[in-house]
Chains A and B, each alone.
Chain A
């Protein structure tokens, strides 16, 4: 009997530990992605968007959230392929808008909104945070793909 209880306890603990685990992303290495994308913003884990969103984004880099982020065609295709190959699956949640168009902002995905429900508009605007796109402001280990509760430190 005892081993069974111990086993169920272990299983229960494992389930409790899961949500924290699920907040980590392996960050695949890609030199072109690092150089071209991470010169202006952090290298967002490709898993945070669906393939369709990455395809749409990489299809119009001249109008990239109000900036011209155009790059040479060979690199554009290579980075698009990398993002699509590593894009998110079911865990990413909905990445289409009400009209069915692929969402381009990670911050507009269902998963992001759900995870950040408790953050007030005023907090987002703090000089130390500036924008919801600035993951590293609060997720101290974002660069390593770690977004668990443990590594969160919301600056004043």
Chain B
């Protein structure tokens, strides 16, 4: 009985943390209170938004491909879920990278709408 409880707890813990890229789109749209626009997301991602870098400076304007860190040249695995199943599956990681990278590219946090738009665009890429 005790074993069963442990197994059940383990399954619950795993399922509570595993997320899909679509979950993030849903979450950001809900936070924004408006539908996302993939087109707006593409523009946001590929053009500079006040900082020295755009998202594309490291992730390229085709995020289905691998990128390179603009400063250190370190290889970056693709960001689009279509070509990298590991992306957008962990809320802590997603929040961490949006917080840091928005600061680097916009000198501020991203709005929920901006994050929703980027998610919509990334999910539209094949």
**Hey, which bits of chain A sit against chain B, CB under 8 A?**
38-42, 62, 65-72, 130-131, 133-134, 137
Contacts and interface: CB of A to CB of B under 8 A. Distances in A.
Interface in B82-109: 92, 96, 99-101, 103-104
B99 A68 contact: yes
B3 interface: no
Interface in B54-106: 69, 71-74, 92, 96, 99-101, 103-104
Contact of A68 (B71, B92, B103): B103
Interface string B95-126: 01001110110000000000000000000000
A70 B74 contact: no
A134 B73 contact: yes
Contacts of A38: 74
Contacts of B69: 40-41
A79 B92 CA distance: 18
B106 to A, nearest CB: 11
17 contacts: A38-B74, A39-B74, A40-B69, A40-B72, A41-B69, A42-B72, A42-B74, A66-B71, A68-B104, A69-B100, A72-B92, A72-B96, A130-B73, A131-B71, A131-B73, A133-B71, A133-B72
Contacts of A69: 100
Nearest to B68: A130
A62 B100 CA distance: 8
Contacts of B96: 71-72
Greatest chain B CB density within 10 A among A68, A70, A72, A133 is at A68
Contact of B72 (A41, A68, A70, A72): A41
